[in-house]
Amino acid sequence: MLLGPSLGLSAVLFSLGVAGVLFRRNAIVIFICIELMLNAVNLSFIAFAQQLGRSGQVIVFFVMAVAAAEAAVGLAIMIAIYRHKDTIDVREINLLRG
Amino acid sequence: MSQTEAVFWFFAAVSVISAFLCITRRNPVASALWLVNTLFALAAIFILLDAHFIGALQVLVYAGAIMVLFLFVIMLLNLGRDTGTDMLGWAGRIVMLAVGALLATELLVLARVVPDQRFVLPAGTLARITEEQGAVGAIAAPLFRDYLIPFEITSVLLLAAVVGAVVLAKRRL
Amino acid sequence: MPATVGWVWLVLLFPLAGFLANGAISVLRLDAKRAVTTIGVGALVLSFLVAVAVMAGLAGAPADAPYVLSLWQWMPAGRLEIELALQVDQLSAMMLLVVTGVSMVIHVFSVGYMGEDPGYARYFSYLNLFVFFMLVLVLGANFPVMFVGWEGVGLCSYLLIGFWFENEAFANAGKKAFIMNRIGDVGFLLAMFMIFQAVGTLSFIEVFEYAPRAFAIGGTAITLITLALFVGAIGKSAQIPLYTWLPDAMAGPTPVSALIHAATMVTAGVYMVARANVLFAMAPISSFTVAAVGAITALFAATVALKQWDIKKVLAYSTVSQLGYMFMGVGVGAYAAGIFHLTTHAFFKALLFLGAGSVIHALHHAYHHTHSSEEAQDMRNMGGLRKWMPLTATFMWIATLAIVGVPGFSGFFSKDEILAATFARGHEAAAFYVLWAVGVVTALLTAFYMTRLMIYTFHGPNRSGEKEQQHLHESPWVMTGPLLVLAVLAIVGGLINLPAVLPGSGWLHHWLEPVTELSAAYLPEVHLSHSTEWVLLGFATLVAALGIIGAWRLLKPAALKPAREAPEETGIQKVLLNKWYVDEIYDTLIVRPIMWVSENVLWKVIDKGIIDGFGANGSANLARAMGWLGSRLQTGYLGTYVFLFVLGALILLRVVTGWEL
């Protein structure tokens, strides 16, 4: 029974991802941290799937598809921003400022 | 401690250490590669949890495709050079680590959850299904029966993402 | 229900259709004068014919209960159920005939009088609309339907007073009438609310049936209700203190003054009191108030009429005065007498106004030919007109004799009946003798000012000017024809209700009995001995003769100067000429303080200060401040958003985990 330890690991990895997002400024690295968080969540799904049925695995399948789509679009946006501003430092990108 | 548990804890340690290094390396390429290491460790844990097909996908799609995409972009933007740290100062790090630690504590509280026994399958059910239907069949059956429509919608999503990526990244249409 | 009574909705339909058709012609600016005339007058002729049929049907049927023609459910709301229903009984049928008949005659007259006005179609559409609403008022089977007509005639009155709205004074006169009517309408509305609260219904039949059980005789509730109703009547029928709009209403075309502001609309208050006779009879205090206000108004308006120079102003104050008589009649419980005077007054006052209209029309044309800007309505510019306008002069003399109360003419009988009814109640309280005396003095003044009007207009030397005299001529037949009809009615109108001492008496009295019998139980039985009645008749004749002869002897038309040369008046004459300064007093005591409060308190403090400052601009500033704060939050930096997002997630997690570790 690895449910408890798996969820714990998931929690630790997720928190590491959040911490990374919080204190990195490079958009690519922030992106990487988001992938880390997604995987932490996937781990929870897989752990629950072992006890509650295969639906959890199917959800993980969908998460991966969404992650792939997100990576493609997100990285494309980053390229576009880099072309525009010559940097991907999030401190330099504040188009949403009110 | 059974053999399975020992393997689990090994990969758990690998994934946590890799993740920590991933978020602390100054060079984005190093970060990406440490993430790949984390993903491999997680793939191993997935297999331990009777998700063989997902484990394979983890390696193929994540470590293979998505991370390659990341590396391509990093190289495309020429970010591999050492351009000084992009991390916050010491005060910022302490605050962020505090926030992260707090979040971890919260989540660990949630991790103590015990599923309702009425829904829990008999031990080894998933392993048995995998044995009977094969690693692919175990996930293909629900995917193409119960989740057919979401599956199809996912394909549309991926198509939209492809078009979107091309439109955004292309210099001139 | 007799078949013809069922046709009563047609009476409403024709004027409404006429209004729509003429309104369309007016809005589309079609040049179709002949069509306008046909539609406008035709609608009224058809309406009048149906009214005659209804009357005939009603006369032939056993008249136990009123016939109610329910058209449709109008306002079902909980306990309140209001139907759009028409009530045909003796009272409304009588009014139906008077309204459609007089309206028809005046419509015909208008064809000549308004023939050259550019707003011909608009005029006829308004006039038809007025007749429609007046008929709704008369036929309504419950208070709300009556109120619809009540408001509708007010609207038409406003539209027609301000018919020549290019003239600011005329437009203001319209507004004045409208606002004063509104003040009265508040009373009407309050009365409706109180009736519904007390009785639980607003239908006439039910209210009058349940009233004896719902109210104590002379109780506070019934007194308040009837006083509130009377406030409505005061506004509509131009009694003290809300009478000042009626003289100003003469700004409208003269046929309008004849129809709306003399014959029909202003008598709505009298009709309403007669309609609600049960309620008024149960409230002696209110009834006495009605009679007293009527008597005071009658006397007051008669004194003002003594000294007016504008021919229409004299007639306007005369109308106010005669309305006072009617209220005196219904106030002392002589409802049939009130309606009788209403009917005869409709005939002779319409005749007087139309005659005045004929005179003004002629004078206006004369001045128009010579490009003079003299006042065509000022009697000082008239004089000796019988030489040029013999027909008009004759008819107006008939009307004058009728209103003065010369025996044989209609006004004599109706006025006498009111005075006799007032006198008869004198044995209850001396106050009724005072009212009677006031009525007699008013009759004397009426005889005086009416004779004065006739002398200055038609007798003595002509003062309109040498050149103008060549252009003076009698009005065309389309105007004198209606005068003839009304003159006949003004003579014979009295026959419908001869005094008790004459043979074949009291037809109207008996006719209205089904309506008035409900209240008979609450009124003291009054009987005058025949000898007393003869004495009263004789006395009335004496008073009328005294007034006429007095005016004839005292006034010297030969010495009168035209308006532009007239010397300044002095003393009491000046006070009367200025109508006792009532308008000025109202202006100082009510209008100016309200204007001052409106400007300095309501506008500058409440509207600009509180509503604008705190409400409109305040909320806008608050929203702007919140927006500014919110925009400060939007730094545009990813770090801020993530940080806040994580903080939010932390709080949510604390909630999910139930605040436990």
Closest CA to B54 of A47, C272, A95: A47
**Contact yes or no for A28/B69 (Cβ under 8 A):** no
- Tell whether C600 is covered by a domain: yes
- The CATH-assigned architecture of domain B1-87 is Up-down Bundle (1.20)
Residues 6+ apart with CB under 8 A from B152: none
Closest CA of chain C from A94, distance in Å: 4
* Contacts with B81 from chain A: Cβ below 8 Å: none
What the block records as the tokens of C27 is: 């809005």
Residues C345 and C446 sit within 8 Å (Cβ to Cβ)? no
- Judged by a CB distance cut-off of 8 A, whether residue A46 touches chain B is yes
Spell out the long-range contacts of B65-73 with Cβ–Cβ below 8 A and sequence spacing 24 or more: B65/A68, B66/A35, B66/A67, B66/A68, B66/A71, B67/B32, B67/B35, B67/B36, B67/B39, B69/A71, B69/A72, B69/A75, B70/A28, B70/A31, B70/A32, B70/A71, B70/A75, B70/B32, B71/B29, B71/B32, B73/A28, B73/A75, B73/A78, B73/A79
CA-based nearest distance C656→chain B, Å: 9
| Cross-chain residue pair C650–B110, CB shorter than 8 Å | no
Share of chain B above pLDDT 70, in %: 93
Per-residue confidence at B9, pLDDT binned at 50, 70, 90?
very high
Helix (H) or strand (E) run with residue C172 in it: helix C168-199
Q: Residue A46: which of B46, B66, B115 has the nearest Cβ?
A: B46
Best mutation target among B88, B106, B108 (most C Cβ atoms within 10 Å) is B106
Q: Which residues are within 8 A (CB) of B20 and not within 5 positions of it... i.e. 6 or more apart? A: A16
Contact between C479 and C113 (Cβ < 8 Å): yes
User: Residue C649's closest chain A neighbor by CA?
Assistant: A18
Q: Quick: pLDDT tens for C596-632.
A: 888 888 888 888 888 888 888 888 999 999 989 888 8
Are A14 and B162 a contacting pair at CB < 8 A?
no
Judging contacts by C-beta atoms under 8 Å, the chain C residues touching residue B106 are 650, 653-654, 657
Q: How far apart are CA C61 and CA A77, in angstroms?
A: 93
Residue with tokens 């109108």: C493
- Residue pLDDT tens, chain A, 98 long: 688 889 999 999 999 998 888 888 888 888 899 999 999 999 999 999 888 888 889 999 999 999 999 989 988 988 888 888 888 888 777 777 76
**B102–C649 C-beta distance less than 8 A:** no
Distance CA C45, CA B118 (A): 91
Same domain, C498 and C375: yes
Which residues are within 8 A (CB) of C135 and not within 5 positions of it... i.e. 6 or more apart? C11, C12, C15, C47, C96, C99, C100, C149
Helix (H, G, I), strand (E, B) or coil at C30: coil
Domain endpoint, select from C510, C532, C567: C567
Helix ranges, C523-637 (H): 530-554, 571-577, 582-586, 592-596, 617-633
Q: Is B35 on the interface with A (CB under 8 A)?
A: yes
Residues of C in contact with A96 (CB under 8 A): 634, 636
Interface of C with B in 285-314 (CB under 8 A): none
Asked if residue C442 is part of any domain, the answer here is yes
Interval C43-55: pLDDT, tens: 999 999 999 988 8
Query: Token digits for C317?
Result: 């104050």
Cα–Cα distance, C633 to A97 (Å, whole number): 8
* Residue of chain C whose alpha carbon sits nearest to that of B96: C643
User: Considering only CB atoms, which chain A residues are within 8 Å of C646?
Assistant: 18, 22
CB within 8 Å of C64: residues ≥ 6 apart:
C514
Say whether A94 and C639 touch across the interface (CB within 8 A).
no
**Residue C559 belongs to some domain of the structure:** yes
Q: Residue C476 carries which DSSP code?
A: P
pLDDT digits (tens, 9 = 90+) for C18-63: 999 999 988 888 888 888 888 889 999 999 999 998 888 888 776 6
**Chain A residues with CB-CB distance to C638 below 8 A:** 27, 30, 90, 93
Q: Which two tokens stand for residue B10?
A: 């090994």
Which helix H or strand E contains C70, and what residues bound it? Answer: strand C67-77
Give the H or E element holding residue C31.
Answer: none
For chain A, the structural domain boundaries read 3-92
CA dihedral for C225, C230, C232, C233, sign (positive or negative): positive
Examine the domain organization and report whether C453 and C414 are in the same domain: yes
Task: Report whether pLDDT(C527) > 80.
Answer: no
Distance CA C559, CA C191 (A): 53
Task: Please check whether residues C320 and C427 belong to one and the same domain.
Answer: yes
In whole angstroms, give the CA distance from residue C295 to residue C440: 10
- pLDDT of B156 reads 94
Q: Report the SS3 class of residue C381.
A: helix
Question: Cα–Cα–Cα angle for C535, C539, C542, nearest 5°?
Answer: 140
C-alpha to C-alpha distance for B30 and C336, rounded to whole angstroms: 111
Chain A: give the shortest CA distance to residue B51, in Å.
7
Window from B7-16, B70-79, C418-427, C540-549 with minimum mean pLDDT: B70-79
Q: Give the pLDDT mean for B118-143.
A: 85
What is the C-alpha to C-alpha distance for residues B147 and B141, in angstroms, rounded to an integer? 9
Helix/strand/coil for A9: helix
Token couple for C51? 């009214």
Q: For residues C488 and C347, what is the distance between their CA atoms, to the nearest angstrom?
A: 9
The Cα C267–Cα C345 span in angstroms is 10
* Residue C118 forms part of a structural domain: no
Helix C90-113, helix C120-139: angle, nearest 10: 170
Q: Tell me, yes or no, whether C630 and C488 share the same domain.
A: no
Q: What are phi and psi of C416, to 5 degrees?
A: -65, -35
> B89 versus B137: which is more confidently predicted?
B137
Amino acid of residue C31: D
Helix (H, G, I), strand (E, B) or coil at C273: helix
User: Which residue among C508, C541, C567 closes a domain?
Assistant: C567
What band does C516 get if pLDDT is binned at 50, 70 and 90? confident
CB-based contact (8 Å) between B50 and chain A?
Answer: yes
**Could you write out the three-class secondary structure of chain B?**
CCHHHHHHHHHHHHHHHHHHHHHHCCCHHHHHHHHHHHHHHHHHHHHHCCCHHHHHHHHHHHHHHHHHHHHHHHHHCCCCCCCCCCECCHHHHHHHHHHHHHHHHHHHHHHCCCCCCCCCCCCCHHHHHHHHHHHHHHHHHHHHHCCHHHHHHHHHHHHHHHHHHHHHHCCCC
d(CA A34, CA C576) in angstroms, rounded, equals: 97
| Total domains, chain C | 2
Give the pLDDT of residue C230.
Answer: 92
Measured between beta carbons, the chain A residues lying within 8 angstroms of C644 are: none
With a pLDDT cut of 90, the percent of chain C lying above it is: 20
Interface membership of B13 toward A (CB under 8 Å): no
**Beta-bridge partner residues of B87:** A24
Q: Collapsing DSSP states into helix, strand and coil, what is residue C151?
A: helix
Same domain, C408 and C443: yes
Cβ of A39 within 8 Å of Cβ of B65? The answer is: no
- The beta strands (E) that lie in A1-98 are given as none
Using 50, 70 and 90 to split pLDDT, how confident is the model at B69? Answer: confident
> Is the residue at C193 inside a domain?
no
- For C92, the enclosing helix (H) or strand (E) is helix C90-113
What is the rounded average pLDDT of the residues C280-288? 88
pLDDT at B161: 93
Query: Strand C67-77 relative to strand C80-88: parallel, antiparallel, unpaired?
Result: antiparallel
C617 to chain A nearest CA, in Å?
A: 23
Beta-carbon contacts of residue C158 (< 8 Å; ≥ 6 apart): C174, C175, C177, C178
Chains touching chain B, criterion 3+ CB pairs below 8 Å: A, C
Element (H, E) at C82: strand C80-88
Q: Which of C643, C647, C657 sits opposite B110 (nearest CB)?
A: C657
Which residues in B lie closer than 8 A to residue C649 (C-beta atoms)?
A: 103
**Percent of chain C beyond pLDDT 70?**
98
Q: How confident is the model at residue B173 (pLDDT cuts 50, 70, 90)?
A: low
The candidate with the shortest Cα–Cα distance to C131, out of C6, C258, C16, is C16
Last residue of a domain, one of C500, C532, C567: C567
Residue C130's nearest CA partner among C15, C253, C245 is: C15
| The model's pTM | 0.69
Bigger pLDDT: C564 or C486?
A: C486
A-B contacts at Cβ under 8 angstroms: 237
B103 to chain A, minimum CA–CA distance in Å?
A: 6
User: What tens digit of pLDDT does each residue of C140-176 get?
Assistant: 888 999 999 999 999 999 998 888 888 888 888 888 8
Whether residues B103 and C649 touch (CB distance < 8 A) is answered with yes
C649 in reach of chain B (CB within 8 A): yes
Q: In this complex, is the C-beta atom of B43 within 8 Å of any C-beta atom belonging to chain A?
A: no
Q: Which residue has the higher pLDDT, A35 or C381?
A: A35
Cβ–Cβ gap A96/C639 under 8 Å:
no
- Residue C466 φ/ψ, nearest 5 degrees: -60, -50
Exposure string for C102-121, b = 16+ CB within 10 A, e = fewer: bbbbbbbbbbbbbeeeeebb
User: Taking CA atoms, what residue in C is nearest to B87?
Assistant: C639
Q: What is the CATH number of domain A3-92?
A: 1.10.287.3510
CB neighbourhood size of C271 (10 A): 28
Average pLDDT, chain C: 86
Q: Out of B103, B105, B109, whose CB is closest to C646? A: B103
Would you say residue B25 has pLDDT above 80? yes
Contact A98 C639 (CB under 8 A): no
Sequence ranges of the domains in chain B: 1-87, 89-119, 122-173
Closest residue in C to B88 (Cα–Cα): C639
Cα–Cα distance measured from residue C420 to residue C415, given in angstroms and rounded to the nearest whole number = 9
- Chains in contact with chain C (at least 3 beta-carbon pairs closer than 8 A): A, B
Q: Answer yes or no: do A22 and C630 touch at CB < 8 A.
A: no
pLDDT winner (highest mean) among B3-17, C207-221, C521-535: B3-17
Query: Looking at CA atoms only, how far is residue A36 from chain B in angstroms?
Result: 7
pLDDT digits (tens, 9 = 90+) for C488-503: 988 888 888 877 777 6
Query: Which of C340, C382, C321 lies closest to C497, judged by CA?
Result: C340
Whether B66 and chain A come into contact, CB under 8 Å, resolves to: yes
Helix C530-554 to helix C390-404 angle, to the nearest 10 degrees?
140
The answer to whether A71 touches A35, Cβ cutoff 8 Å, is yes
| Among C163, C200, C184, residue whose Cα is nearest residue C78 | C200
Q: Does the pLDDT value for residue C555 go beyond 70?
A: yes
Cβ–Cβ under 8 Å, residues C383 and C560: yes
Residue B132 CB neighbour total at 10 angstroms? 9
- CA-to-CA distance for C322 and C301, rounded, in angstroms? 9
Contact between C145 and C390 under an 8 Å Cβ cutoff? The reply is no
Which residues does chain B have within 8 Å of residue C653's beta carbon, measured at their own beta carbons? 103, 106-107, 110
Domain that holds residue C638: 584-657
| Residue closest to B12 by CA, chosen among A33, A4, A19 | A4
C-contacting residues in B 74-113 (Cβ below 8 Å): 99, 102-103, 105-107, 109-110
Banded pLDDT at B125 (limits 50, 70, 90)? confident
Helix C168-199 and helix C143-161: axis angle, to 10°? 170
Measured distance CA(B95)–CA(B98) in Å, rounded: 5
**CB spacing of C661 vs B99 below 8 angstroms:** no
Nearest CA in chain B to A37: B19
A16/B87 touch (CB, cutoff 8 Å), yes or no = no
Quickly count: other Cβ atoms within 10 Å of residue C10's Cβ.
16
Q: Are C536 and C598 in the same domain? A: no
Tens digits of residue pLDDT in C236-277 = 888 888 888 888 888 888 888 888 888 888 889 899 999 888
Q: How confident is the model at residue C660 (pLDDT cuts 50, 70, 90)?
A: low
Comparing CA positions, the residue from C61, C54, C161 lying closest to residue C98 is: C54
